[in-house]
Amino acid sequence: MTTLSAPPRPEPAVKPAPDERPSAPRVVGVFVAATALLLVIVAVHLTQGTSAVGAVDLLRLLTGGDDETARVFVASRVPRLLAGLTIGVALGFAGAALQSIARNPLASPDTLAVNAGAHLAIVSVAAFGIALPALPAGGLAFCGGLVAAGLVMAMSSGGQAGTTRLILAGSATAMALSSVTTLMLLLFEQATIGLFAWGNGSLVQSDLDTLTQLAPVIVAAVAVLMLFGHRLDILALGDDTATVLGIDVRRTRLLVTVLAVLLSAAAVTLTGPVGFVGLCAPVIVRLLGPLVPGVHRHRILLPLSGMAGVGIVLGSDVLLRALMGAQAGVDIPTGVVTTLFGAGILIWLARRHRDAGPTRRPPGGHAAVRSVFFHRTVVAVATVVTIAAVLIGMLAGDTWLLLGDLVNWVNGSTGPAYTFVLDQRWPRVGAALLAGAALAVAGTTVQAVCRNPLAEPGILGITAGAGLGAVSLLTFVPLAGVWAVSGVAGLGAMLAFALVYGAAWRGGLSSDRLVLIGFGAWQGGMAMITFVIVAYDPWNTGKALTWLSGSTYGRTATQVLPVAIALLVLTPAVVAARRELDLMTLDDDTPRVLGVRLERTRLVALGAAALLTSTAVSAVGVIGFVGLVAPHAARALVGGRHARVIPVAVLFGAALVSLADTFGRTVIAPAQIPAGLVTAMIGTPYFVWLLWRSRAAAPPR
């Protein structure tokens, strides 16, 4: 049985305790304590702001005060406070509902890509200069979020087939939707100005119009969810038991999902996507289970989750402005702080996660044994495709050339115009080619070590670590050289790798735990990148977005050199370990029996993958899905032996990034689409197909 087809396991974190009677005094005490804590946070929140109005001035309003204080209070402080209260309640209720119907402690508007779908819907309209009122915009966000959630739930078997599968499905979908959103922000930069910061969740409100239009929708959805509380309690006992007790399971699950998506879409419409509130709030409440019997009952869980959501949102806003100053509340999205907090909670949850077992191996490991002739044919065809990709990359662009022009350039006999074009073009083609090859080798290694065909360096947080290092250096030291950027990117990647590997180690390395912790590190790293950009270089988001989307624009031969060196040094090392990689895809015991030092081999293999990824990121920026698609496609064609997989994956990865880069700088020339966005839009359908195929192959439950 594989990870992808494992039957659902009970998740204590999301199971209610129907045999526990709620302790009325303790429940009342929890609500009183939560209310008192929220009142303190609200009081502190109202005293913070960019104006000189402080706590004493606000107290004077009780006895009249002055008009200026009243204007600041009504026009600035109250709208921000009410926005935080509203989205905290909405996301808290939505997260608790999604976790309950999926019976999965990691289900949330973020991990189900609801926020990403709603965000894309709003940005798509703004890109074309259409300004919608709050309710139509909320309806559009609702449709986008519902489609995304439906796709993720379908791919992850309703979210019940395992937390790792849910995270992989949700992260891939969110990555693809975010890529399209980023493309909109880049192509329509003037029309979407200001949406980069808003896209990470900002509480800044100019008035109460949007809030007053969305508040009735949120109140109605919250009320209906409370009415469904008893049904959710019964549903948590299992589908069969719920059906016997008269619950229409399918209809209940559908209606609760719609209500949760509606709440999430309303929150996104009001403030943008505020990350991980819907994940953290229910988790915090469920931790009270040992102290407060019956807290898992949904008519207690839901309102407490709403209150916890408010505490997270407003507490993050208070903390941000207390540490960074009042202006930070305007410049830096509150969602950055909640995402960092949520990433920590996710890593903590993942450390408690139990692995699915040692029997998992990638699909393709069982592929039919191919003949030597077939393998050589595949290698020959892949080589021809890669060479063709290089030639097309050299000839295509805003200036189209002929093959004869390329031959003349090689011979040094072209004119100044064509010489200039090709001198500028070949480093881009070389960077794409080598980065694709490096990411393919890294992805092959990561999939073997994790025994999961859906893992890749980006999901393990390595890419985010490299990106954070490079973006930080480019922001604080704009004149930094190529080797400095490569070195800092490598350092960031290795630190991220050390964090993920160390956190995943718990009496041994659990592959599922490694993926979940890596996802948390990836989210935290991307939040830190956003923080660096909006806090220290807010007027240059176009450059940062282009780099984070993976672009070869302006690359020079010097920038290509580090990734070439990494490939020359590390690829032979990975090839030399091909037998160990073959054994690690089986289980943990077989390699040890055959004399493989498993933990040392894992550490070295993942370290090599981290270094290859960091050099690729320093050369072309953040490019996703290459480390997923290339190894899996190679494995499907030539079988699971790494002696055959590695060369085919290298050729596939090089060709994929090269073609994506050529397409991106040609299709709308002279404007350009970053190669990372193209690979994300190519890789996501393939990823969806992989998940759907594995779902169809799963045994009936």
Residue 13 has pLDDT above 70, yes or no: no
- Best-predicted range by mean pLDDT among 144-158, 174-188, 379-393, 525-539? 379-393
pLDDT in tens, 328-354: 777 788 888 888 888 888 888 777 755
pLDDT of residue 312: 92
Task: List, in order, residues 6 or more apart from 495 with CB less than 8 Å away.
Answer: 465, 469
pLDDT of residue 224: 94
**Token match 């038991």: residue?**
241
Q: Which CATH number fits domain 372-696: 1.20.20.10, 1.10.275.10, 1.10.3470.10, 3.40.50.300?
A: 1.10.3470.10
The conformational region for residue 481 under phi > 0 = left, psi -120 to 50 = alpha, else beta, is beta
pLDDT in tens, 258-310: 999 899 989 888 888 888 898 889 988 988 878 888 888 888 999 999 999 99
Residue 231 has pLDDT above 80, yes or no: yes
The 10 Å Cβ neighbour count of residue 209 is 12
pLDDT of residue 357: 42
Percent of the chain predicted with pLDDT > 90: 12
pLDDT of residue 302: 93
Residue 6 has pLDDT above 70, yes or no: no
For residue 14, the 8-state DSSP code is G
Mean pLDDT of 399-426: 80
Beta bridge partner(s), residue 509: 505
Q: How confident is the model at residue 698 (pLDDT cuts 50, 70, 90)?
A: very low
Mean pLDDT of 527-539: 79
Mean pLDDT of 652-681: 83
- Of 64-78, 130-144, 204-218, the one with minimum mean pLDDT is 64-78
Residue 681 has pLDDT above 70, yes or no: yes
User: CA distances (Å), 274 to each of 109, 218, 337, in order?
Assistant: 10, 16, 9
Number of H helices, E strands in the chain: 30, 0
What six digits make up the tokens of 382? 């892949």
pLDDT of residue 259: 92
517 vs 624, more confident: 517
- Kindly list the domain boundaries of the chain, sorted by start residue: 3-351, 372-696
Length of the chain: 701
pLDDT of residue 4: 36
Distance CA 492, CA 151 (A): 33
Distance CA 1, CA 358 (A): 10
Q: Is the pTM of this model over 0.85?
A: no
User: CA distances (Å), 300 to each of 22, 223, 436, in order?
Assistant: 9, 13, 51
pLDDT in tens, 475-486: 888 777 767 877
Distance CA 403, CA 395 (A): 7
Residue 22 has pLDDT above 80, yes or no: no
pLDDT in tens, 217-226: 999 999 999 9
Q: What SS3 class is residue 698? A: coil
Residue 9 has pLDDT above 70, yes or no: no
pLDDT in tens, 305-314: 999 999 999 9
- Of 25-29, 514-518, 690-694, the one with minimum mean pLDDT is 690-694
What six digits make up the tokens of 529? 């990148």
- Of 185-189, 250-254, 653-657, the one with minimum mean pLDDT is 185-189
- Of 161-175, 216-230, 459-473, the one with minimum mean pLDDT is 161-175
- Of 154-163, 248-257, 518-527, 552-561, the one with minimum mean pLDDT is 154-163
pLDDT in tens, 424-443: 888 888 888 999 999 999 98
Residue 52 has pLDDT above 80, yes or no: no
pLDDT of residue 360: 45
Instruction: Give me the chain's average pLDDT, please.
Output: 79
Percent of the chain predicted with pLDDT > 70: 85
What six digits make up the tokens of 564? 């070439």
pLDDT of residue 400: 79
Residue 454 has pLDDT above 70, yes or no: no
Mean pLDDT of 81-93: 93
Residue 18 has pLDDT above 70, yes or no: no
Mean pLDDT of 491-507: 80
For residue 538, the 8-state DSSP code is G
Residue 362 has pLDDT above 60, yes or no: no
Say whether domain 3-351 belongs to CATH 1.10.3470.10: yes
pLDDT of residue 701: 41
Domains 3-351 and 372-696 share a fold: yes
pLDDT of residue 680: 79
Burial 361-373 (b: 16+ CB within 10 A, else e): bbbbbeeeebeee
pLDDT in tens, 630-646: 888 888 888 878 888 88
Sign of CA dihedral 409, 414, 418, 424: positive
Residue 17 has pLDDT above 80, yes or no: no
